[in-house]
Amino acid sequence: MRMILLGPPGAGKGSQAQNLSVALCVPHVSTGDIFRANIKEGTALGIRVKGILTAGELVPDDLAVRIVADRLSKADCANGFILDGFPRTIPQAEQLDAMLARDGKAIDVVLNLVCPDEVIISRISGRRLCCCGRTYHLTGNPPKVAGICDFDGKTLYVREDDKEETVRTRLETYHRQTEPLIAYYAQKDALCDVDGEGAIADITVSILGTLEKMGL
């Protein structure tokens, strides 16, 4: 099962990829996770991508392709993978196709999580974090006392990439550079639209049902 999750930032790609990874027994390959781990460890890659991501921009194609090629060459990806956060541009998609074709492989399905901008903005800009790792949401999962963690009484904060202005920039970048991938994969008959609004678990169930109908 070689799958790509497409959709705007905040559409729930990460949550779906995690659930599908467990259900389908293939690894979840998230470029965002790879970048964040490198930023945390202060590697050369981390230093390079930190400023790009904070500005809501995309990591250059050559760099993104190199990182994904390296990850997909690992043994655990031999029987498939779920890509989340890649490809983000047409050149990245073309290079991914070429990379797989060299091994006689291809992408089986591209799930496109459809979610309106306004829903995404309210979802992301309502996120509140605590330094203990717990996460809250102003409407979805509010703390008992506004702005305070239920467990340790510490003050909650907004992640830099979750600020409304950054979210709007990320959505503009998505519409301009990533949305053309929808037509690219539709032309290859690999695209499958999924309603990205609603509860995470319900969306997973609906995706698994769709994959079964497709014989995947």
Asked whether position 149 contacts Zn ion by CB under 5 A, the answer is yes
- The nearest distance, CB 131 to Zn ion, in angstroms, is 6
Contact 154, 144 (CB under 8 A): no
Which part of the chain contacts Zn ion (CB under 5 A), choosing from 43-51, 131-139, 163-171, 202-210?
Answer: 131-139
- The nearest distance, CB 115 to Zn ion, in angstroms, is 28
Could you confirm whether 88 is annotated as catalytic? Answer: yes
CA separation for the pair 129, 168 (Å, rounded): 20
- The nearest distance, CB 2 to Zn ion, in angstroms, is 39
Could you confirm whether 36 is annotated as catalytic? Answer: no
State the catalytic residue, choosing from 66, 105, 159, 188. 159
- For Zn ion, which residue of 83, 130, 207, 211 counts as binding (CB under 5 A)? 130
Task: Provide the total of helices (H) and of strands (E) in the chain, helices listed first.
Answer: 9, 7
Asked whether position 152 contacts Zn ion by CB under 5 A, the answer is yes
**Could you say which DSSP state residue 15 is in?**
H
Which stretches within the chain are classed as H helix? 13-24, 31-41, 44-54, 61-72, 90-101, 117-125, 164-173, 180-187, 200-213
Active site residues: 13, 88, 127, 159, 170
